[in-house]
A and B are shown apart, each in its own frame.
Chain A
Amino acid sequence: MSTTVVDARNLLCPLPVIRTQDAVVKLQPGDAVQVLCTDPGVVYDIPAWCRVHGHEVCDINEQEYEIAISIRVGESGS
């Protein structure tokens, strides 16, 4: 299964969340998404957005200046 990559680097929240939301709405339950970010706020916001929409955060990989968040699309599809 392919992974949809969302490049949200150099965007400040909530734009990484919006870009993630825009990508996820086109996907199916079970699909994988990786979001690349630089705003440290995403480690709070993207998981919060996933919780309210029923998506699963599989991994958060924080490097010094870049963060990669892996998501599995949930059943709600939004």
Chain B
Amino acid sequence: MPQKPKAVALISGGLDSLLAARVALDQGVHVEGINFYTGFCVEGHTHAIRKQDRARPKRNNALWSAEQLGIKLHIVDIIEEYKDVVINPKHGYGANLNPCLDCKIFMVDKAREWIEEKGFDFIITGEVIGQRPMSQRKDTMPVIARDSGAGDRLVRPLCARNLPATLPETLGWLDRDKLYGFNGRSRKPQMALAEKFGFEDYAQPAGGCCFLTDKQYSVKLSDLWATRGTREYDLDDIMLLKVGRHLRPRPNFKVIVGREEGENRFLEGYRKRFVHMIPTSHTGPLVLLDGEVSADDIELAARLTARFSQGRDAEQVTIEVKQPGGDARSLDVVPLTADEIPAGWYI
């Protein structure tokens, strides 16, 4: 038995993981945090692409939690490995494309690998029985422990007293009587504990911490998969689903329309990958075309681009069109009218 047991805590940036880590710290455990980046994580900075949001206070909540706790935080890029979780979830999806149970198993498994590599003793999560309909239920808690391989080295300090004793408890590293027995969807016990610990200004994400729980985002991802005929994706694909208006005028292509200056600038970073266009006679958005496009498709997209420009009511708008890495050419087009854009084009 080590002099001071060492644990890694899964830190999402939310209140529960913050509290769980603090409970273990208070029992003399050396705790370090780990945070997994899947590409689907909701971070305030994603919204900060938009110029109008630049004045908002920004912080990475997982880092903020680590600072509050006075612990190190290791942020791990799992984008590639996570694809299999999203594409082939053994336990299925939630209300949208959220594979919450498989996700939790995967992350605990990664944490298990991490502690084995680093010589740590156990894993802490902020899970609470009954808190989430898919992944945090009494019947799924043992599934996560078993399928991740963590077994009794997985401790949930906030609901531990409702679960069988774990290895750190039986070995006396953690005093079970000083762990908690939270249960259900109520946030009141966590809020009371936060107050006891003096935590203020903690994150309270209304829609969870993952874009896959978002209906609109899931619709866009489904559209991407369906039109490509494959469920494969890369980071750029899933980042672009977070930015701009997405419209599919024809099955073979969609357009991504920057909604304002910040998004236009972000989309500029993708000009080498996509056919793109921008109005030159009027102020307007940068538009990316995703798919194989014909001359007729380009003209339709140009008319759509004109519709989203300041020249929407003009008789004619000049649009500069560029192939990736190619020369620019100009098209003079009549903007589409509002009636010519069916609601079904919007993804």
Interface positions of A (Cβ within 8 A of B) = 9-10, 12-15, 17-18, 21-22, 38-41, 44-45, 48-49, 51-53, 65, 76, 78
Contact = CB atoms under 8 A, between A and B. Distances in A.
Given A12-B49, A78-B72, A17 B77 contact: no
Interface of B: 35, 37, 41, 43-46, 48-49, 54, 58-60, 62-64, 66-67, 71-77, 239, 265-266, 269
Contact of A39 (B45, B64, B75): B45
- The majority secondary structure among interface residues of chain B is mixed
B60 A45 contact: yes
A23 to B, nearest CB: 13
Nearest to B76: A18
Given A17-B75, A53-B72, A40 B58 contact: yes
Contacts of B76: 18
B37 A12 contact: no
B211 to A, nearest CB: 12
Given A12-B239, A65-B265, A45 B59 contact: yes
A65 B66 CA distance: 29
9 closest A-B pairs by CB: A41-B45, A10-B269, A48-B63, A13-B45, A41-B58, A45-B60, A52-B66, A18-B77, A18-B75
B118 to A, nearest CB: 10
Contacts of A9: 269
B63 A49 contact: yes
A39 B73 contact: no
Contacts of A39: 45, 48-49
Given A17-B60, A41-B48, 16 more contacts: A14-B41, A14-B62, A15-B77, A18-B37, A39-B48, A40-B48, A40-B54, A40-B58, A41-B44, A48-B66, A48-B67, A49-B73, A52-B71, A52-B73, A65-B265, A78-B74
A45 B44 contact: no
Contact of A52 (B45, B49, B72, B239): B72
Contacts of B67: 48, 51-52
B66 A14 contact: no
A71 to B, nearest CB: 15
B60 to A, nearest CB: 5
Contact of B37 (A15, A38, A44): A15
18 contacts: A9-B269, A13-B60, A14-B43, A14-B60, A18-B37, A18-B75, A21-B74, A39-B45, A39-B49, A41-B43, A41-B60, A45-B45, A45-B59, A45-B60, A45-B63, A49-B73, A52-B63, A52-B67
